[in-house]
Amino acid sequence: MEKPVYKRVVLKISGEALAGDKGFGIDSDILNSIAEQISEVHKLGVQVAIVVGGGNIWRGRNSKHMDRATADYMGMLATVINALALQDALENKGLDTRVQTAIEMKEIAEPYIRRKAIRHLEKGRAVIFAAGTGNPFFSTDTTAALRAAEIEAEVILLAKKVDGVYDSDPALNSSAQKFESIDYIDVINKGLGVMDSTATSLCMDNSIPIIVFGISTPGNIKRVILGENIGTVVRGS
Ligand code: UDP
């Protein structure tokens, strides 16, 4: 019998991961593969809360002349589009799901209520957190750190296009070295692009480990949940 090493996790899926090679929008094959991978770990009895990004549709910091807060609200709305797509894909796999948004839009999803989210997880529902933290100038990585602390998740699974944390960008440097594990403070001090510093500090202050791994290989979420050393673990020393 396969035994998961975690009971409750926050899975962060970046918008980039949803776009696949197209770089924009939602690739339906990838969406389906991610939903399949989530359903595999759900069957092991793991409580899965998901934070989705929005970078495949809109990123506030990339808007040139627009008011930054407005651009960030647009980014938060982009995460809601991804959340609904993911909800649909998960329900096609037979999972019970709830989307909770940090900005109220109660015609399409529940508002974020911490105790309710925990209750859903206990009842075996996958909970998708959308609209980030609800505040401009933050990221969905920070949302993952915040929600993980709030719902007392044991770990953040940071699903990326890249398969771990490298000392330089592996897309640009073919001799980039992958870390098996790295301290939070080194991620911050070396300015490694794995997570923004706000998110990394929040995890550091609350001792929440982060596992960075590649989502494009089917079965990887389950491998991480079963304790296989793929990707990079970010934690304190
Ligand atoms: N965003 C925000 N506050 C939050 C979370 C997200 O303002 O708490 C906005 C921000 O503009 C960000 C966009 O939503 O660029 C999409 O989120 P993110 O860039 O984190 O997505 P990812 O890179 O994971 O696809």
DSSP sequence for 51-88: EE--TTT--GGG-SSS-HHHHHHHHHHHHHHHHHHHHH
**What's the helix, strand, coil split of the chain in %, to 5?**
40, 20, 40
Evaluate if residue 2 carries a pLDDT over 90: no
- Using an 8 Å Cβ cutoff, are 157 and 11 in contact? yes
Query: What is the CA(79)–ligand 1 centre distance, in A?
Result: 7
Mean pLDDT of the chain: 96
In the block, residue with structure tokens 């989705």: 52
Look at residue 2 and tell me if it is in a domain.
no
- Whether 129 is in the pocket of ligand 1, judged by its Cβ within 6 Å, is no
**Cα 58 to Cα 71: distance, rounded to the nearest angstrom:** 8
| Domain count for the chain | 1
Q: How far does residue 145's CA lie from ligand 1's centre (Å)? A: 13
- Residues 148-194 have pLDDT tens digits of 999 999 999 999 988 999 999 898 999 999 999 999 999 999 999 88
Determine the distance separating the centroid of ligand 1 and the alpha carbon of 71, expressed in angstroms: 10
Residue 1 lies in a domain: no
Nearest one of 81, 23, 20 to 53, comparing CA atoms: 81
Closest CA to 220 of 34, 43, 47: 34
Q: What angle do CA 179, 185, 190 make, to 5 degrees?
A: 65
- CA 138 to centroid of ligand 1, rounded, Å: 7
Supply the range of the domain harboring residue 214. 8-235
Which pLDDT does position 173 carry in this prediction?
92
Q: Which three-class secondary structure state does DSSP give residue 13?
A: strand
> Which CATH number goes with the domain that contains 84?
3.40.1160.10
Which atom in ligand 1 lies closest to the alpha carbon of residue 76? 14
Query: Which segments of the chain are extended strands (E)?
Result: 8-13, 47-52, 97-101, 110-111, 126-130, 155-160, 181-183, 210-214, 232-235
Which residue from 122, 98, 94 is spatially nearest to 36, judged by alpha carbons? 94
Atom of ligand 1 nearest to the CA of 71: 11
* Integer Rg of the chain from CA: 17
Q: Which atom of ligand 1 is nearest to 13's Cα?
A: 24
Per-residue confidence at 135, pLDDT binned at 50, 70, 90?
Answer: very high
Mean pLDDT calculated for residue range 112-134: 98
> Is residue 226 in some structural domain?
yes
Residue 3 in domain: no
Decide if 213 is inside a domain.
Answer: yes
For the stretch 72-121, pLDDT in tens is 999 999 999 999 999 999 999 999 999 999 999 999 999 999 999 999 99
Query: Is 57 touching ligand 1 by the criterion CB < 6 Å?
Result: no
User: Measured in angstroms, how far is the CA atom of residue 132 from the centroid of ligand 1?
Assistant: 6
- In short, whether 76's Cβ falls inside 6 Å of ligand 1 is yes
C-alpha 53 – ligand 1 centre gap (Å): 6
Residue 58 maps to a domain: yes
Residue 111 lies in a domain: yes
Q: Is residue 24 part of a domain?
A: yes
Q: Is the CB of 53 under 6 A from ligand 1?
A: yes
Q: Is the CB of 82 under 6 A from ligand 1?
A: no
- The pLDDT of 125-153, averaged and rounded, is 98
Q: Is the pLDDT of residue 1 over 80?
A: no
